[in-house]
C-alpha cells in the first residue's frame, strides 16, 4: 500500500480512547504478513514483532492508535444529545456531521436571531451545542458516554498534503506500517517490536504498561507535533510542514539517543528537524522513559496543523520520511553499551 492508501484506510476507522478494538483488529490482520508474530498485551496494546536471538538488542517503536473524540453527556427528548468535548475546540463544531453509535447526526446550536441581548457576541461554549440524531423519543438512543466521531471523508489537499480527522496519531501509525513493509524479508541487527498503543490521549497508560512489561533497550515514541500555520508569528519552536520528521531534543530524550537518531538521519540523507522539548513531550515517550527501571527513549514527530480538529493536515512526504528514518534506524542497529540512561 502507498502512504496515502494507509492514511486513507486508517483515518476511516474510528477509535476513541478506550474503544480501540476496531483499529486494532484492522492492524492485526493487515500486519500479519510483515511480522513474525502479532500479539496483544494486557493493556490492549497491539505489537507486531520481528524476532531474533536474545543477544540482539530490543528496539521498541510505539505509536498510539486512539484519537480524540466527543462524547454524549445527556439525552434530551426530541432526538437531541448534549455533548462533551474534552480535547477539541468547540469553535469548530457547529454545523458538522457526526456519527454517534453508528447513527448519523448533526451538531447544532441556537441561531443568532434567537439569542438575547449580547449573547450573540459571546464565544461558543460547550453548553450552546447539541447533536440532532433525528429520533423522536429517548428510547433506543446512544447512551451517555458514547463516543461521537466526525463524519468527514479523508481527502488530498494539493499535491502533497492530506487532511482527515484522527491524523493524530494515524499518521504515525501509517509510518510504522510502512516500516514493517520495508523490512519484510530483510535481516536486521535488532529485535523489533512495533507497538500500537492505547489510551495515549487520556494519560498514556498503554505506553506505561508496555515499557514496564517489555523493558526494551531503546524505545522510540512516534507521534505528531505542531506545525507552523497562519496567525502564529514568531513561534520559532514550531516545525515546518514538508521539512521532514521532528527529532525531539530535551529531557525526554537522553543525549546518546538524540545523537543516534540524528546521525542515522544524516547518514541516510533523510531530511529532519530538531524540536525543542523542554519538559513533558506530551507523547508516549514520557511514559516509556520512566517505565520499570528506566528506558533510553527518543521522540520522533510528524508535523501537523489544526491538531485536535476535524481538519488535521500533514504533508505525505513527512510521513514517508518518518518511515524511512525508522527503517534506517532498524537496519543500522545500535549497541546496548552506546545508550546509557544518563
Catalytic residues: 200
- End-to-end alpha carbon distance in the chain: 40
Amino acid at each position: 500500500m502507498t502512504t496515502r492508501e494507509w492514511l486513507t484506510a486508517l483515518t476511516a476507522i474510528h477509535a476513541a480512547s478506550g474503544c480501540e478494538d476496531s483499529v486494532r483488529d484492522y492492524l492485526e490482520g493487515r500486519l500479519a504478513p510483515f511480522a513474525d508474530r502479532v500479539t496483544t498485551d494486557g493493556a490492549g496494546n497491539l505489537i507486531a514483532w520481528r524476532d531474533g536471538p536474545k543477544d540482539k538488542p530490543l528496539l521498541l517503536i510505539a505509536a498510539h492508535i486512539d484519537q480524540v473524540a466527543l462524547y454524549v453527556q445527556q439525552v434530551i427528548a426530541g432526538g437531541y444529545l448534549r455533548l462533551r468535548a474534552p480535547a477539541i475546540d468547540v469553535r469548530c463544531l457547529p454545523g458538522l456531521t457526526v456519527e454517534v453509535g453508528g447513527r448519523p447526526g448533526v451538531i447544532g446550536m441556537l441561531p443568532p436571531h434567537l439569542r438575547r441581548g449580547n449573547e450573540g457576541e459571546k464565544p461558543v461554549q460547550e453548553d450552546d451545542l447539541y447533536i440532532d440524531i433525528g429520533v423522536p423519543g429517548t428510547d433506543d438512543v446512544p447512551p451517555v458516554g458514547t463516543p461521537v466521531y466526525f463524519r468527514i471523508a479523508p481527502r488530498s489537499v494539493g499535491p502533497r498534503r492530506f487532511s482527515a480527522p484522527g491524523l493524530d496519531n494515524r499518521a504515525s501509525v501509517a509510518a510504522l506500517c510502512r516500516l514493517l513493509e520495508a523490512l519484510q524479508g530483510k535481516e536486521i541487527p535488532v529485535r523489533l517490536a512495533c507497538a500500537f498503543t492505547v489510551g495515549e490521549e487520556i494519560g498514556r497508560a498503554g505506553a506505561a504498561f508496555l515499557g514496564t512489561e517489555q523493558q526494551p533497550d531503546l524505545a522510540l515514541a512516534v507521534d505528531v507535533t505542531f506545525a507552523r500555520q497562519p496567525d502564529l508569528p514568531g513561534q520559532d519552536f514550531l516545525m515546518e510542514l514538508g521539512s521532514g520528521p521532528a527529532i525531539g531534543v530535551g529531557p525526554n530524550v537522553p543525549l546518546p539517543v538524540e545523537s543516534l537518531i540524528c546521525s542515522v538521519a544524516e547518514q541516510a540523507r533523510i531530511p529532519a528537524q530538531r524540536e525543542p522539548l523542554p519538559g513533558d513531550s506530551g507523547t508516549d515517550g514520557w511514559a516509556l522513559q520512566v517505565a520499570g527501571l528506566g528506558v533510553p527513549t527518543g521522540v520522533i514527530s510528524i508535523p501537523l496543523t489544526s491538531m485536535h480538529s476535524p481538519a488535521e493536515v500533514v504533508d505525505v512526504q513527512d510521513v514517508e520520511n518518518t518511515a524511512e528514518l525508522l527503517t534506517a534506524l532498524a537496519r543500522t542497529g545500535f549497541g546496548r553499551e552506546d545508550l546509557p540512561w544518563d
